């Protein structure tokens, strides 16, 4: 694994630090009036989700880890485990459902997700950024209400609550951003 200087750490980098795998969430470069410059890095443990704030000087060396990304198709869920299939080898693997966190309800049958591996251990899973969902409950559409800056609450077919424009009605398909949980457009 390549070693990088402490001042080369960027958000999104995965580092091996203190015997664990950490993702750099936030990086601030600080140059105090006295003393040398350093990078103040907020790290998140990829195995247990704990956070850590560290200072790295430019002279400090850290191990940068490259994760292997694989596109895999979601098949079904079985007692808290997601069963995925590698579309190249047709090999099935199981991942813990809590790897997706609060984005879990957006997972749909047959959906392609990106799974990141370190050696043979699944570290992270990412859903597509935009997903199509159906509105099951919202206030009725009022004719003439086309103002885009006012929103009304809606409940989707997966149980998630989002805010939608007033012209979107019950039973319609919409596209939702899985990172921000916000309405994007009609499907």
User: What's the length of the chain?
Assistant: 187
For the chain, the first-to-last Cα distance in angstroms comes to: 44
- 28 and 75 in a single domain? The answer is no
Q: Do 109 and 143 fall within a single domain?
A: no
Q: What is the pTM of this model?
A: 0.72
CATH number at residue 112: 2.40.50.140
**Which of 88, 103, 126 is the last residue before a domain boundary?**
126
Mind listing the pLDDT tens digit for each residue in 74-120?
999 988 889 999 888 999 988 888 778 788 899 999 999 998 888 88
Average pLDDT over the chain reads: 88
Range of the domain at 159: 130-186
Tens of pLDDT, residue by residue over 130-141, are: 999 999 999 887
How many domains does the chain fold into? 3
DSSP 153-164: EEEETTS-EEEE
């Amino acid at each position: 694994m390549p070693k990088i200087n402490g001042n080369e750490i960027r958000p999104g980098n995965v580092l091996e630090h203190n015997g664990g795998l950490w993702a750099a969430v936030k990086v601030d470069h600080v140059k105090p009036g006295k003393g040398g410059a350093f990078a103040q890095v907020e790290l998140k443990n990829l195995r247990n989700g704990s956070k850590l704030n560290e200072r790295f000087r430019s002279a400090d060396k850290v191990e940068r880890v490259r994760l292997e990304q694989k596109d895999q198709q979601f098949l079904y869920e079985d007692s808290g485990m997601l069963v995925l299939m590698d579309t190249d080898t047709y090999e099935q693997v199981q991942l813990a459902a809590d790897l997706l966190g609060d984005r879990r309800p957006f997972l749909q049958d047959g959906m392609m997700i990106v799974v990141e591996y370190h050696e043979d251990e699944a570290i992270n899973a990412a859903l597509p950024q935009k997903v199509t969902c159906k509105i099951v409950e919202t206030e009725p559409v009022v004719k003439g209400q086309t103002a885009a800056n006012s929103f009304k609450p809606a409940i989707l077919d997966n149980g998630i609550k989002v805010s939608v424009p007033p012209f979107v009605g019950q039973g319609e398909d919409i596209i939702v951003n899985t990172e921000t949980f916000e309405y994007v457009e009609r499907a």
